Amino acid sequence: MSKEFIKGNEAMAEAAVRGGCRFFAGYPITPQNDIPEYLSKRLFEVGGTFIQGESEIASINMVYGVAATGVRSMTSSSSPGLALKSEGISFIAGSRIPAVIINVARGGPALGTIQGAQQDYFASAKAIAPGGFRCFVVSPSTVQEAADLVYEAFEIADKYRTPVYVLTDGVIGNMMEIVELPPMRDPEEMLSSDAWRITKYNDDSSARQFSTYRPTGEMLTVDNIAMAELYEEWQEKEQRWEAFMMEDAEVVLTAYGSAGRIAKSAVKELRAQGIKAGLIRPITLFPFPNKAYENINYDKIDKIFVVEMSIPPQFVYDVELATKSQLDYININTSGGVIVETESIVDKVKESM
Indicate whether 111 and 195 sit together in one domain: yes
Average of per-residue pLDDT across 254-274? 98
User: Is pLDDT of 265 > 80?
Assistant: yes
Domain membership of residue 212 (yes or no) is no
One-letter identity of residue 290? N
- The domain tally of the chain equals 2
DSSP string, 246-281: -TT-SEEEE--HHHHHHHHHHHHHHHHTT--EEEEE
Domain that residue 289 falls in: 241-352
> pLDDT class for 263, splitting at 50, 70, 90?
very high
Average of per-residue pLDDT across 21-44? 97
Quick one: what percent of the chain has pLDDT higher than 70?
92
Average of per-residue pLDDT across 193-221? 66
Domain membership of residue 31 (yes or no) is yes
Say what the pLDDT of residue 276 is.
Answer: 96
Say what the pLDDT of residue 24 is.
Answer: 98
Average of per-residue pLDDT across 13-41? 97
Indicate whether 39 and 163 sit together in one domain: yes
Decide which of 212, 235, 258 is a domain's last residue: 235
Indicate whether 231 and 251 sit together in one domain: no
For residues 271 and 87, give the distance between their C-alpha atoms in angstroms, rounded to a whole number: 46
Indicate whether 246 and 169 sit together in one domain: no
One-letter identity of residue 162? T
Average of per-residue pLDDT across 102-124? 92
Domain membership of residue 59 (yes or no) is yes
Burial class (CB in 10 A: 0-12, 13-18, 19+), 177: middle
Q: Are 22 and 198 in contact (CB under 8 A)?
A: no
Q: What is the CATH number of the domain that holds 309?
A: 3.40.50.920
> pLDDT class for 95, splitting at 50, 70, 90?
confident
Domain membership of residue 110 (yes or no) is yes
Indicate whether 229 and 269 sit together in one domain: no
Beta strands 328-333 and 303-308 are parallel
For residues 326 and 298, give the distance between their C-alpha atoms in angstroms, rounded to a whole number: 7
Domain membership of residue 128 (yes or no) is yes
One-letter identity of residue 304? I
Decide which of 210, 235, 260 is a domain's last residue: 235
pLDDT in tens, 126-175: 988 888 899 999 999 999 999 999 999 999 999 999 999 999 999 999 99
User: Is pLDDT of 203 > 90?
Assistant: no
Quick one: what percent of the chain has pLDDT higher than 90?
80
User: Is pLDDT of 192 > 90?
Assistant: no
Say what the pLDDT of residue 224 is.
Answer: 85
Average of per-residue pLDDT across 93-104? 94
Indicate whether 125 and 46 sit together in one domain: yes
pLDDT in tens, 48-88: 999 999 999 999 999 999 999 889 999 999 999 999 999 99
- Rounded alpha-carbon distances, angstroms, from residue 296 to 237, 274, 276, 278, 304: 21, 20, 14, 10, 10
Residue 209: CB atoms within 10 Å = 7
For residues 300 and 235, give the distance between their C-alpha atoms in angstroms, rounded to a whole number: 28
Average of per-residue pLDDT across 288-297? 95
For 157, the 3-state DSSP assignment is helix
- Rounded alpha-carbon distances, angstroms, from residue 148 to 33, 275, 340: 20, 32, 25
Q: What is the CATH number of the domain that holds 172?
A: 3.40.50.970
| 31 cis-preceded (ω within 30 degrees of 0) | yes
